[in-house]
């Protein structure tokens, strides 16, 4: 009888973990008009900081563990299957990897404003997603992506920008105060480096974007 009660209790615990709406008071911060769709697997709520108007799709897995944090700024959106993991296991010379927490190294993950993540996007420790980025379906990111870029693949590749530098400047004049706008010099530098100089190289990745 006690074994049956234990199994029922465990099953209820699993159901609550995945299907009950997350308690926003547990998060480091949780902005206005933001929500997680269910089911969701969220670990270490206190290390997760969510901005305003954020929508995280169903079947997401968010693991902001150890001393690392996840920062999601305003107006983020994702399709289902978003995975965010702020740690990874490492192996040292002369040591057997155990798979436990003692093998982990940690880095924060930052998602800037206006980012959209397609279905089954994965963000790994140290990822920094630039403002206005679009992450195509199945993309895996573990580094920095430039603002307003279109990014696809594993490993992630920049295949273009959804605005020209002039359009970004006009967009940010409307949306952001002057001190928060990205400089024209940075925008042109990114556009030339990641796109204009690499058009032939990125052609093969274009079909990955949905």
**Quick one: pLDDT at residue 16?**
45
Contact call for residues 60 and 82 (beta carbons, < 8 A): yes
pTM: 0.84
* Contact between residue 124 and residue 142 where contact means Cβ atoms under 8 Å apart: yes
Place of tokens 């590749």: 157
Write down the pLDDT at residue 15. 47
The two three-digit tokens of residue 1, written as one number: 């009888």
pLDDT at 195: 79
Interstrand relation of 104-106 and 109-111 (parallel, antiparallel or unpaired): unpaired
Phi, psi values for residue 159, rounded to 5°? -110, 0
| Of 148, 165, 75, the residue nearest 114 (C-alpha) | 75
Cβ neighbours of 151 (radius 10 Å): 28
The confidence score (pLDDT) of residue 200 equals 56
Three-class SS state of 151: strand
Query: Which pair of tokens denotes residue 149?
Result: 């870029």
Give pLDDT tens digits for 144-163: 999 999 999 999 999 999 89
Does residue 60 have a cis bond before it (omega within 30 degrees)? no
Cβ count near 6 (within 10 Å): 10
DSSP string, 39-90: SEEEE-GGGEEE-SS-EE-SSEEEE--TT--EEE-SS-EE-TT-EEE-EEE-
CB–CB of 69/89 below 8 Å? no
The residue ranges of the chain whose pLDDT is under 50 are: 6, 10-16, 20, 205, 207-210
Q: Kindly report, residue by residue over 32-60, the tens digit of the pLDDT.
A: 999 999 899 999 999 999 999 999 999 99
Contact 50, 73 (CB under 8 A): no
Look at residue 19 in the predicted model and tell me its pLDDT: 55
């Amino acid at each position: 009888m006690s074994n049956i009660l234990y199994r029922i209790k465990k099953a209820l615990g699993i159901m609550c973990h995945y299907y009950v709406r997350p308690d926003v008071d547990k998060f480091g911060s949780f902005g206005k008009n933001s929500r997680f769709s269910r089911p969701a697997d969220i670990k270490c709520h206190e290390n997760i900081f969510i901005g305003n108007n954020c929508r995280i799709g169903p079947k997401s897995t968010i693991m902001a563990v150890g001393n690392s944090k996840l920062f999601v700024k305003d107006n983020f959106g994702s399709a289902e299957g978003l995975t965010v993991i702020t740690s990874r296991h490492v192996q040292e010379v002369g040591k057997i990897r155990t798979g436990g927490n003692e093998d982990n190294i940690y880095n924060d993950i930052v998602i800037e404003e206006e980012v959209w993540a397609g279905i089954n996007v994965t963000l790994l420790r140290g990822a920094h997603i630039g403002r206005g980025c679009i992450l195509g379906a199945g993309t895996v990111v573990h580094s920095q992506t430039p603002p307003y870029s279109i990014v696809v693949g594993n490993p992630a590749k920049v295949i273009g920008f959804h605005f020209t530098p002039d359009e970004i400047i006009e967009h940010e004049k409307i949306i952001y105060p002057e001190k928060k706008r990205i400089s024209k010099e940075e925008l042109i530098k990114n556009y030339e480096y990641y796109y204009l100089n690499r058009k032939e190289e990125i052609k093969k990745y274009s079909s990955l974007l949905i």
